[in-house]
Amino acid sequence: MKTITTEAIHTPTDKLEVFLFNVGQGDHILLKFPTMEYGIIDFHYESSTAIAEPPSLSYFKELKRTLSKEEFEKITISFFCISHTDKDHVKGIAETIRWFDRNGIFIRDFWFGAARDRSQFSSFLREKVNSIIDTFSFEERLKVNLSVERFNNGVDAFFEGFDKWKSGGFSSERYKTEDVGDGEYLVEIRPLPLSLEKVKAVNMGPLGTQLDSYINNLNLDLVKEILKVKDNKNKVEKNLLSHILKIKFGEVNLLFGGDTEKDIWERCLAKYEKNTFVEQFGSFDSHFIKVSHHGSKNSSSSYIWEKIIPDDGMTYLGISAGRHNGYKHPHSETMSQIRQRRKDANILSTNICNSCIDGSAFDKEHHVWYDNFVHRNAKNYGKDEPNVHDIEINEIIDKTIQESGQKPQESQIGLFAYIFEVPDNLNEDIKVRVALSNVNRAHDCFFKDHQEGLLDCCGPMAKTL
């Protein structure tokens, strides 16, 4: 197994690398472009799985420690993207932007989930919630305060950082000499500003009419709540505010759907196909697809996969999901519909077990830089920007190693990330590397009770670790 050190993670390549991190039940994706610029989509981490912060934040902290000051200051985040404001997509966003500000990382633009402006994206919902709370008695308000904070999910704190960025207050000297964006809200089918070689970005949804429908239904729901009307009709979910983002690298399309639900997908695809968008922005069939909503059946249909999975070439579908027995993501229906479209489609989910990792043909590598990073942070707890979870996580890792009776590099390690190497042409296949770490612990097969196995080795016969 190849060992990956810090020196190896920030190395130029002619491929676009997509890191689909294993962060439990949520989304966190890092894109590394051949120009050595980066994009980040969503910021979750599940601390119950011994992850202290969004792994991309650990990635850049490690680069800060090892690169020269001159090299580190060249790092560019081309876009910092939030698909929508559910906690499993934004949990670590405030701490990430604060660290980027303090440490001089240059961010060229921000892309926000479906809205026309900031009030619709964030404060609109907060104001509406407060309008209901104002109708409560004092005792009732005390009961909901904690829920309100959870609802906010740190987005207000993030926007304080965004306002500072927009006003030129971030610490990098590059803000004085280089152009930055205004912050794009992802609604309607349109190109997005992105000054990268061979790379184009297109927002494919939701449509303005779908956003308006969401807002109207939200208003109606809030009125019903205030009037104490017991009615579940027209109930809206924030997943209806999630984007569909297409990144085109050379000839190859990549699709990222956040938690976008099937109705939005289907209507956006129909509009894209029936208008001049294919002529303007190219087809939407994609050889890499980040499956929406952790593989939920509510974000899947035969129509969607028929439209976006190409007829030929190797196709990879990445799913970010945890081992939540209630959700059981990805759903068997979703995997079945994908395979009805292409039996040879490669479906990879982050809640895979080590038996299937071992049985897969993908290249495997041990990211010791991440193990070392977590141990080092725990050792220096209280000295250099510690994370409150570091000691706890270090103890978990040590316990796991002690129980195995092996050295760290020999212990049973689990999935840290899938790394998809995407070429810029259709004559070359996407390659997958399986990144492993001691922090992400091994577990038994989550798919043994699913109707559809993830890989050939999944299912009732999968061995338990």
Q: If you average pLDDT over every residue of the chain, what do you get?
A: 83
Look up the pTM and report it.
0.87
**Mean of the pLDDT values across residues 77-81?**
96
Pairing of strands 413-422, 431-441: antiparallel
Please say whether the beta carbons of 36 and 22 come within 8 A: no
Q: Report pLDDT digits (tens) over 174-205.
A: 999 999 999 999 999 999 999 898 999 999 99
Would you place residue 131 in the very low, low, confident or very high pLDDT band (cuts 50, 70, 90)? low
Q: Report pLDDT digits (tens) over 377-386.
A: 765 544 445 4
Question: CA–CA separation, 142 vs 136, rounded Å?
Answer: 10
* pLDDT value of position 447: 77
Q: Report pLDDT digits (tens) over 32-73.
A: 999 999 999 999 988 766 688 999 999 999 999 999 999 999
Question: CA–CA separation, 260 vs 84, rounded Å?
Answer: 9
Would you place residue 238 in the very low, low, confident or very high pLDDT band (cuts 50, 70, 90)? low
Would you place residue 458 in the very low, low, confident or very high pLDDT band (cuts 50, 70, 90)? low
DSSP H/E element including 138: helix 138-152
Sequence letter at residue 9: I
Between residues 102 and 399, the one the model is more confident about? 102
Strand ranges in 83-189 using DSSP code E only, listed in sequence order: 106-107, 110-112, 184-185
Q: How far is the CA of 81 from the CAs of 45, 140, 303, in angstroms?
A: 16, 36, 27
Q: How many CB atoms lie within 10 A of CB 350?
A: 27
Quick check: 328 pLDDT over 60?
A: yes
Would you place residue 409 in the very low, low, confident or very high pLDDT band (cuts 50, 70, 90)? very low
Would you place residue 465 in the very low, low, confident or very high pLDDT band (cuts 50, 70, 90)? very low
Sequence letter at residue 339: R
Quick check: 306 pLDDT over 90?
A: yes
Between residues 464 and 451, the one the model is more confident about? 451
* pLDDT value of position 445: 77
Would you place residue 85 in the very low, low, confident or very high pLDDT band (cuts 50, 70, 90)? confident
Task: Give the rounded percent of residues in the chain with a pLDDT score beyond 90.
Answer: 52
* pLDDT value of position 461: 43
Structure tokens at 440: 């992400």
Would you place residue 305 in the very low, low, confident or very high pLDDT band (cuts 50, 70, 90)? very high
Task: Give the rounded percent of residues in the chain with a pLDDT score beyond 70.
Answer: 79
Quick check: 278 pLDDT over 80?
A: yes
Report the SS3 class of residue 323: coil
**Mean of the pLDDT values across residues 86-93?**
87
Question: CA–CA separation, 30 vs 18, rounded Å?
Answer: 6
Would you say the C-alpha torsion 226, 227, 230, 234 has a positive or negative sign? negative
* pLDDT value of position 137: 78
Q: How many CB atoms lie within 10 A of CB 231?
A: 11
Contacting residues for 275 by C-beta, under 8 A, at least 6 apart: 189
The DSSP-derived string for 207-268 is -HHHHHHHHHHHHHHHHHHHTT----TT---GGGG--EEEEEETTEEEEE-TT--HHHHHHH
Quick check: 142 pLDDT over 80?
A: no
